[in-house]
Amino acid sequence: MNRVALGKPSSRTARLEKARAFPSPRSTTGEIPSTMTAVPLDQRYPKLSRTLDAIPPSVAAPVNCKLSGRHSMRVSPILFAISLAAGSQISGGASEPARIAELQVFLLNSRTGALSGNVLAKDGPELGNVPSGEFASNSTLIVVRIQFAEQAPIPKAQVRLVAVESGAMPFAPAHKKTADRIILDRTIALGAVSTDGNTYVGFWLTGIGCRTITLKASIVGIKDAAPRTEVLPIACYE
């Protein structure tokens, strides 16, 4: 008669007994117990809900997506929307670490030495006959405001301003073309930053004439910082 050795239960048997001791939280009826509250998808990810509502039915059908080799799979655009919107919700939508928030332009009155109001403001002075008009000016102060995100580190960065003069010369023949001219290209390091995350850099622009000036400010030393462009529609009349 063969004897059966009695020893410790196998690891599989131990796992089964442990699983019986801790039953699944789902009830026998298939309902979620009251201790596990289900949160509707549109409340958990409101941006996701708005994205799905905006998808027309004509684009909701799955499309074929070719993979490497001869394999392919069907992918639903809605699944793409879910992954993008939910990912943005979870990541919190990180903002830019720094941006050029504003450009301000002030004309220096050649007769009085006073500065005009910001010509880029809605109620700013007009830019007609700037060199010899009522507020005659041949030099301009340009102020660039850089704004840092809340709690963002302040790196060692610089601001570059490029000013390009373009357009036809006043009273020139219509057939005569005038090339664009760079009248300023300068880079200045950032200074101290205020408690609200703002810092200002000033540039002097001299030799203003009667042609349009395009200003382009950019941040050097901060990755993915978008530039900002403003146009001064300077013109001279008879």
Classify residue 119 by burial, with Cβ atoms within 10 Å: 0-12, 13-18, 19+. buried
Asked whether the beta carbons of 153 and 135 are under 8 A apart, the reply is no
Asked whether the beta carbons of 105 and 232 are under 8 A apart, the reply is yes
**Torsion from C-alpha of 171, 175, 181, 183, nearest 10 degrees:** 0
Which pLDDT tens digit goes with each residue over 116-151? 999 999 888 888 888 888 888 999 999 999 999 887
Among 22-36, 42-56, 117-131, 201-215, the range with the most confident prediction by mean pLDDT is 201-215
Q: Using N-to-C axis directions, what is the helix angle for 46-53 and 77-91, rounded to 10°? A: 150
Q: What pLDDT score was predicted for residue 236?
A: 86
Residue 230 binned pLDDT confidence (cut-offs 50, 70, 90): very high
Only one residue has tokens 């131990």, namely: 14
Q: What is the pTM of this model?
A: 0.58
Which of 202, 203, 188, 197 has its CA nearest to residue 157? 188
| 45 has a pLDDT exceeding 70 | no
Distance (Å, whole) CA 146 – CA 186: 16
Asked whether the beta carbons of 208 and 140 are under 8 A apart, the reply is yes
Q: What pLDDT score was predicted for residue 152?
A: 78
Domains and CATH numbers, the chain: 41-91 (no CATH), 98-232 (2.60.40.10)
Which pLDDT tens digit goes with each residue over 80-106? 555 554 444 434 444 678 899 999 999
First to last CA, the chain: 125
Q: What pLDDT score was predicted for residue 197?
A: 92
Among 35-49, 63-77, 208-222, the range with the most confident prediction by mean pLDDT is 208-222
Average pLDDT over residues 65-85: 55
Q: What pLDDT score was predicted for residue 233?
A: 92
Q: What pLDDT score was predicted for residue 88?
A: 44
Do the strands 181-189 and 158-166 form a parallel or antiparallel pair, or are they unpaired? antiparallel
